[in-house]
Structure 1
Amino acid sequence: MTTAHLSAGDTAPAFRLPDADGKEVALADYAGGRVIVYFYPAAMTPGCTTQAVDFTGANEDLSAAGLAVVGISPDPVRKLAAFRAQQEISFPLLSDEDKTVLTAYGAYGEKLLYGKKVEGVIRSTFVVDVAEDGVGTVAVAQYNVRAKGHVDKLRKELQV
């Protein structure tokens, strides 16, 4: 399965997904702002934990620079709640169990895992500018990012 990749300037697919508390969160909720939307394979795995902890550590600086953070995975809500509590994650974690949003962003599809082709979540990060009307435009699109060091690299690129 090949999914389309988004690029800077593309319209960001709208979404409405449940967070770790089961409360609906939509891209349009960030109208008039910027949001980092990152996709990760599975809560409570080493790489995904590193990334979530790094985003939590950077969240205050990102917020001061006008950037919100949202993490999306195919994990069920209850697993996200446990992950958030265990790692003290300070931003919304959203559940996309049917992988609709992951697919729309090109963050789900064929990838190499230990040299073998598999279908799964492609660790990806997007910076989305959300207009007052709730429509998002991709400012940054990054696919196949590494969990370790990614947040620091992104902060440098965004000058935060």
Structure 2
Amino acid sequence: MTLSPGDTMPDFDLPTDGGGRISSAQLKGRPYVLYLYPKDDTPGCTLEAQTFASRYGEFEALGFEVVGLSKDSVSSHDRFKRKCGLSFPLASDEDGRLVEALGSWVEKSNYGKTYMGIDRSTFLVNAEGMIVRTWRGVKVPGHVEDVLAVATEVGH
């Protein structure tokens, strides 16, 4: 199943770095960006996280929360968040339920080997919990700027 603009974001309640939790119910009434990334502390994921962090104030000014999501453990997220100086929550979906519900658990290929992994994806969700825009198969350079541009349009 693949979710598209106009669909409702699936309900979720996940642990985050620092012993916290984040849920769709908690975010209700506030627009947010949920970005899925394959693995903490890898080059592309680090660049993406740092770029979201560098623009986080602009998302906040528009009323948006930013949430990173991977299947990494909370302790891995704690280390990654400290190392990168991130100010937004990193949610842990170790069992992959939300990742699968979002249609982001896909077959990948690297050096001729196929395996299952997270498709780098981003979901822009409005205050009512409806998906406004999706990005799939994300290439990191320029991505955060694209998301911010759409958030700016939605925010006005």
Report the more deviating stretch, 108-117 or 143-152: 108-117
Residue 61 to residue 115, structure 1, CA distance change in 2 (3 Å):
farther
Q: In structure 2, what is the equivalent of residue 103 of structure 1?
A: 100
Report the more deviating stretch, 7-16 or 19-28: 19-28
Deviations 1:65-98 (A, max 9, x none): 1111000000011010000000000100011111
1:115 deviation in Å?
5.8
Aligned residues: 153
Q: In structure 2, what is the equivalent of residue 72 of structure 1?
A: 69
Deviations 1:26-82 (A, max 9, x none): 022112110000100001000000000000011000110111100000001101000
User: Sequence identity of aligned pairs in percent?
Assistant: 37
Q: In structure 2, what is the equivalent of residue 138 of structure 1?
A: 131
**Counterpart-to-counterpart distance in 2, 1:140 and 1:25:** 21
Q: Contact 2:14–2:91 at 8 Å: present in 1 too?
A: yes
Q: In structure 1, what is the equivalent of residue 55 of structure 2?
A: 58
**Counterpart-to-counterpart distance in 1, 2:86 and 2:56:** 10
Q: How does 1:10-159 map to 2 (within 5 A)?
A: 10-114=7-111, 116-131=113-128, 136-159=129-152
**Counterpart-to-counterpart distance in 2, 1:137 and 1:48:** 26
Q: Which has the higher strand share?
A: 1
1:147 deviation in Å?
1.9
**Counterpart-to-counterpart distance in 2, 1:125 and 1:29:** 19
**Counterpart-to-counterpart distance in 1, 2:143 and 2:109:** 19
- Per the normalisation by structure 2, the TM-score is 0.92
- Per the normalisation by structure 1, the TM-score is 0.89
**Counterpart-to-counterpart distance in 1, 2:111 and 2:43:** 16
**Counterpart-to-counterpart distance in 2, 1:61 and 1:113:** 35
Q: Which has the higher helix share?
A: 2
Letter in 1 for 2:84: Q
Q: CA RMSD in A?
A: 1.5
Letter in 2 for 1:61: E
